[in-house]
Amino acid sequence: MLDTTTSLERPSPQWIFAPEVRAQETRLFDRSPLYLGPAWHRPEGFLRVPPWAHDLYLACVPDKTPTQQHSPTQAQVRSNVCLHWQADILQASGDGFLSFNPSILCKSHNAVYSAESGKLLNPHLFKQSCTHVLPPVPTVEWQGFLFKDATWEGLSSHFSLRQELARVEAETGSLFRAEGYRLMKTIEMEQAGNWALFVLNYLDLMHVDPAHSETLAQLCDCSYVQSYPGLNFSSELQVPGRWTAVQQVDWKKSWGEGSSEGWNDPDHPRRGKAAFHQWGKIYREAKGNPPLGSVWATIFPHLMLEWYPGVIVMSQVFPHPSDPTRCKVYHDFYGEQDLLEHPDFLAVQQVAFHATGDEDESMVGSMSRNLMRFARRGLNTPTGFVHPQLEDCSPFYYARLIEVLSELGVTL
Ligand code: FES
Ligand SMILES: [Fe+2]
């Protein structure tokens, strides 16, 4: 049985590759929350099958009220699994958005459902009695974003998505409010790196300066850090029921003042750095100085809510179905509407984001391959911390991982 009393030590990371742990990954993710998309409709309405959750769809009916009386309605979320032979009803590619249609058709055998109510509209199709409504999916709306709800009991704590989101809000105020932002891009990527190590690297502020010196560190100043639960968790061991880390770092006062030449040239050796400075120029000219450099809110086990000046990114990572040294990553990028009017804003932000992501991928990918090899050979390489303050959130994540895996019956 796992010894949770030692959870504040950084466990030997190849533990993540133990067959018993990997066997429970699906069960862990089955009970996890999901980010789904924008909660409020565009005037023309939409349907969305999120690229990371084909078994459900969002339906937002068109808004027919005059602009002055605009009263946005929240998207409904229902099962996308046909009641006949359980095929996917709606098929979507790319960002998963489809134009709104009051009825949706399962092409397998022509079952037709109301998009809004989920009711089967041609029940005569079924010769025997069966349920005739696509079940609703429980959701949580938070600051204009929609999530699939999740709650569970752990060994010593209780997980509630609402509670975790309320915690993020208590610590970040209105920073994550979707109002004034527009979804500008959705990205689906398979990349090198185990999903849990991806999150642990994401929580690690220690790597920002050395690993991202020419990219993210042009924007972020980690000498000012505010993080929860962080060291508070390590010292007190008492943040019962807490499943979220919130890290806020300052912005570097030189952001946007360096050269931005070459940001649009794929062969330029300093493209990432140039993109960060071009982003800074556009932002500071339009809006002045940003309040912070970045805010990262990580909700166990895999949701990452990211705020950067002018941009909110809703990110999620999932295990790769067959290769534990790889993962699937999804991002929804929201841009502040006034900045999106700048012709280069989206492009420059994407170059900056991917230049940073490539650096993370090379680090987490190699860590994963090496640790997997060590785990196969039965080697154990416990490690300590280089900088407890800048690595303060990883003991928390390990502890929660151990807690939930124990609850799922993992014995190591
Ligand atoms: S599976 Fe949808 S109509 Fe048969
Ligand atoms: Fe990184």
CA Rg value for the chain: 22
Closest ligand 1 atom to Cα of 110: 3
- Which residue's CA lies nearest to atom 3 of ligand 1? 109
Q: How many angstroms separate the CA atoms of 99 and 43, rounded?
A: 11
The CB of 106 under 6 Å from ligand 1? The reply is yes
How far is the centre of ligand 1, averaged over its atoms, from the C-alpha of 50 (Å)? 20
Q: How many angstroms separate the CA atoms of 9 and 234, rounded?
A: 9
- Which residue's CA lies nearest to atom 4 of ligand 1? 109
The pLDDT of residue 68 is 56
pLDDT in tens, 157-195: 889 999 999 999 999 999 999 999 999 999 999 999 999
Report residue 123 as tokens. Answer: 């029940």
Q: What is the mean pLDDT of the chain?
A: 90
The CB of 134 under 6 Å from ligand 1? The reply is no
Handedness of CA 225, 228, 233, 238 (dihedral sign): positive
Residue 58 contacts residue 40 (beta carbons within 8 Å): no
Closest ligand 1 atom to Cα of 125: 3
pLDDT in tens, 273-328: 999 999 999 999 999 999 999 999 999 999 999 999 999 999 999 999 999 999 99
Kindly report which listed range (127-131, 157-161, 351-355) carries the lowest average pLDDT score.
127-131
Number of C-alpha atoms within 13 angstroms, CB side, residue 305? 30
Q: Which ligand is nearest the CA of 202, by number?
A: 2
Stretch 119-142: mean pLDDT: 89
Q: How many angstroms separate the CA atoms of 147 and 162, rounded?
A: 10
The CB of 91 under 6 Å from ligand 1? The reply is no
Q: pTM to 2 decimals?
A: 0.94
The pLDDT of residue 235 is 67
Dihedral, 339, 344, 349, 354 alpha carbons, nearest 10: 160
Domains and CATH numbers, the chain: 4-32+174-407 (3.90.380.10), 36-149 (2.102.10.10)
Q: How many angstroms separate the CA atoms of 296 and 198, rounded?
A: 14
How far is the centre of ligand 1, averaged over its atoms, from the C-alpha of 89 (Å)? 8
Kind of pairing, strands 34-38 and 46-48? unpaired
pLDDT band at 19 (very low <50, low <70, confident <90, very high): confident
The CB of 112 under 6 Å from ligand 1? The reply is no
Q: In what order do the strands lie in the sheet with 244-251?
A: 181-192, 326-336, 311-319, 303-308, 294-299, 244-251, 220-228
Q: Where are the alpha helices (DSSP H) in 237-344?
A: 271-287, 337-340
Report residue 87 as tokens. Answer: 């095929």
How far is the centre of ligand 1, averaged over its atoms, from the C-alpha of 23 (Å)? 31
How far is the centre of ligand 1, averaged over its atoms, from the C-alpha of 181 (Å)? 38
